[in-house]
Chain A
Amino acid sequence: MSTANPTARKNHNPKLAVILSILLAGLGQLYNRRYVKGALFIILEVSFILTLGQFINYGIWGIMTLGTLAGTDHSVFLLIYGFVSLILIAFAVTLYIANVKDAKRDAIRLKNGEKVPTFKQAARNVWDTGFPYFFVTPGLIMLVFIVVLPLLFTIALAFTDYTQYNQPPRNLLSWIGFENFGRLFFGTGSGDSNIWQDTFISVFTWTIVWTVVATTLQIALGLFLALLVNDPRIKFKRLIRTILILPWAVPAFVTILVFAAMFNDRFGAINTDILAMFDLAIPWLQDPFWTRIALIMIQTWLGFPFVFALFTGILQSISKDWYEAAEVDGASRMQKFSSITLPHVLYATAPLLIMQYAGNFNNFNIIYLFNEGGPAVRGQNAGGTDILISWVFDLTFELNQYSMAAAITLILGLIVTGFAFFQFRRTRSFKEEGNI
């Protein structure tokens, strides 16, 4: 395939190569005398259209209409076909653009008199430039179908009318714009008072309070204990650390369920064994206020050991010189803490601490396992301790209010994205570049 002619081909036209490759992927490559590559592109494109064309056509129709025949067309399936089609199209477009760029690059090379590479050279070339893509592909496919597609589906669902009375395949869904969000924010659309708006406001405020208070408490306790145990006068450090780490080591779902039993109003150990000594009985599972207190205490118990272990590692790595220098300057203990210790530990662990907040914001396990979001509250369709994510779960699996659940998920996602932006600002690795 290689030509021995080293002189430039002045009349080889890159523009023509681009136009040809736009008309049909591979034509430009053929014009560039890259016959094998051209043939591969053509085979790929033709087989893509032949095998997937009909499916994509159906999927796009499906996502636009959500079906036209109630009882036959299943709106939910159509929605998923639609997204799969969109992903396939995005993939095809990427390849197509690569094809056009490739045709242009090769044509310019040919024009400047570079040799057409042999098949072996070309294959080598593809392996080198394509290598990262080959390595990313299996993970990418999993990611797209298991994480990205479900998220897209949820976003789409938020703009439909999928409720317990309107379920496919018996009924068709339809696009209803921002109606679900109107219900949440302005209490529009629903006849029965403002139940959605009221519930949303109370669940949302509790979610924020829960995230801030529980996470801050667990970080503060973890830091405090790390400082105490790090004190040079304390002995048996290994043993103490092991004990303090225990709550992290025991699976959380076990401890939460154990706590749920211990906090049981009538026969839990807290009321019958401990508080009975003071003639007290607190309605831990009946009164939203006390349930919230119990949840915050349990989360502190569960969450501080990880922070403690994290901080212990950092504390040990702070150089003694800092403290000695501070002592020479006559710094008090508080000053040493606030100007040496605290900045050090916070700087080194900030991304992980933000993750702690994000984790509690979506801490479904504890809310659901402790009391299933309960106790029930009059005038709203979420329990007294439901946070957004557990409310979403209830709406989906108990009340079958799929679209409202999706709308709330979308709001949740936006808030989580906010957390992620804090992370972006802190990461340095974007400045580092790959070496090939």
Chain B
Amino acid sequence: MSKKLKSNLEVALIYLFLAFMAVIIGYPLLWTVGMSLNPGTSLYSAQLIPDNWSLVHYKWLFTDPSSDYLTWYKNSVLVAIANAFFSVVLTSFVAYAFSRYKFTGRKYGLYAFLLLQMFPVIMGMVAIYVMLNMIGLLDSLVGLTLIYIGGQIPFNAWLVKGYFDTIPKELDEAARIDGAGHLSVFFKIMLPLAKPILGVVALFNFMAPFVDFLLPRIILRNPENFTLALGLFNFISNQFDNNFTRFAAGSILIAVPIALVYLFSQRYLISGLTAGGTKG
């Protein structure tokens, strides 16, 4: 076999494998789209390519009086904005102190962050439930947001601190010689230079309420307070084969925007993660 032929054969095999992967990736996604276009609600009678496709489920989500879909959307957006904003503020404060100052407890604080980011919030769920109940924030979006903001600190403080460390110290030293104080170094030098990683943190925390269903499930009770993930889950957990097509329609409406955001920002996200992560 000539070298050229061998090379061509290899390339063909690679394309074949990639095509196979494309089918495996595409099939469930397209199947969901197909399901959402089925006029019936039962999974059993649904077809991949419906004979008489319709947008009836999409219409139901937005117009039916018994549908809370828009409320859930609004709830999720509110929680997402609050979470993104406060997470960035708190995290950058903490990261600035840890990156630029020497203080008692700094080293143990770093160890603690590294350790705590491995513990999922679910481990303390009984206490979280009881405490929210004690202060009357159970079944409220404020309570949910608080838990999100607190829970993200270890991971993101670590990430942002790693990024701050890559900003040369000469910059803030020069600013200090020119008379800049602690705050102006932070606001005028660190924050503008750290925009990429702060963008990553904001994006992660904006997305979290849309894709997380566990915490809302523990904290929220009233369907009017549900976030999207929990509301959609209830579509099918209540009567599994009855509402799947409706669930598919509702899911597509949140999956598409989220997927687009991820696709457009993936380079950004990955480089942020590696920069913060490997630098430590």
Using a CB–CB distance below 8 Å, which chain A residues touch chain B? 76-77, 80, 127-128, 131-133, 135-136, 138-140, 142-143, 145-151, 153-154, 157, 225, 228-229, 231, 233-234, 240, 242-255, 257-259, 261-262, 264, 266-269, 273, 301, 309-310, 313-314, 348-352, 355, 358, 362, 364-365, 368-369, 389, 392-393, 396-397, 402, 405-406, 409, 412-413, 416-417, 419-420, 423-424, 426-430, 432-436
What residues on B are CB-neighbors of A259 within 8 Å?
28
- B175 contacts partner chain A, Cβ-Cβ < 8 Å: no
Docked complex: B103-121 residues within 8 A CB-CB of A: 103, 106-107, 109-111, 114-116, 118-121
CA A357 to CA B10, docked complex, whole Å: 33
Give the 10 A-B CB pairs with smallest separation, nearest first.
A150-B124, A146-B150, A427-B280, A153-B127, A150-B127, A249-B262, A434-B102, A132-B101, A249-B259, A132-B97
Least distance between A213 CB and chain B CB atoms (Å): 18
Contact A352 B274 (CB under 8 A): yes
Q: Which residues of A contact B167 (CB under 8 A)?
A: none
Query: Could you tell me if B126 and A416 are in contact, using CB atoms closer than 8 angstroms?
Result: no
B25 CB-CB contact with A under 8 Å: yes
The answer to whether A269 touches B14, judged by C-beta atoms less than 8 angstroms apart, is no
Instruction: Provide the bound-state CA to CA distance between A252 and B232, in Å.
Output: 13
> Bound state CA distance, A93 and B167, in angstroms?
36
| In the complex, chain B residues 192-239 whose Cβ is within 8 Å of any chain A Cβ | 210-214, 218, 229, 232-233, 236
Which of B90, B115, B255, B277 is A351 in contact with, Cβ under 8 Å?
A: B277
Verify B263–A429 contact, CB threshold 8 A: no
Q: Which residue of A lies closest to B161 (CB)?
A: A429
Measured CB to CB, the closest approach of chain A to B45, in angstroms, equals 9
Q: Among B14, B25, B247, B273, which residue has its beta carbon within 8 angstroms of that of A352?
A: B273
Q: In the complex, are the beta carbons of A249 and B130 less than 8 A apart?
A: no
Which chain A residues lie closer than 8 Å to B254 at the CB level?
251, 254
Give B247 Cβ to nearest chain A Cβ, in Å: 7
A81 to chain B, nearest CB (A): 9
Contact of B255 among A133, A136, A254 (CB under 8 A): A254
Give residues 29-72 of B contacting A (CB, 8 Å): 29, 31-32, 35, 43-44, 48
In the complex, chain A residues whose CB is within 8 Å of the CB of B274: 310, 313-314, 348-349, 352
Q: Does B169 contact A (CB under 8 A)?
A: yes
B261 to chain A, nearest CB (A): 8
Is B262 a contact of A429 with CB atoms below 8 Å?
A: no
Expressed in whole angstroms, the Cα–Cα distance for A242 and B267 within the complex equals: 11
By the criterion CB–CB under 8 Å, are B279 and A154 in contact? no
Cross-interface CB contact of B126 among A133, A154, A313, A350, cutoff 8 Å:
A154
B23 to nearest A CB, angstroms? 10
Contact of B150 among A147, A243, A262, A419 (CB under 8 A): A147
A48 CB, nearest partner CB in chain B, Å: 20
Given the complex of chains A and B, what is the CA–CA distance between A313 and B277 in angstroms? 14
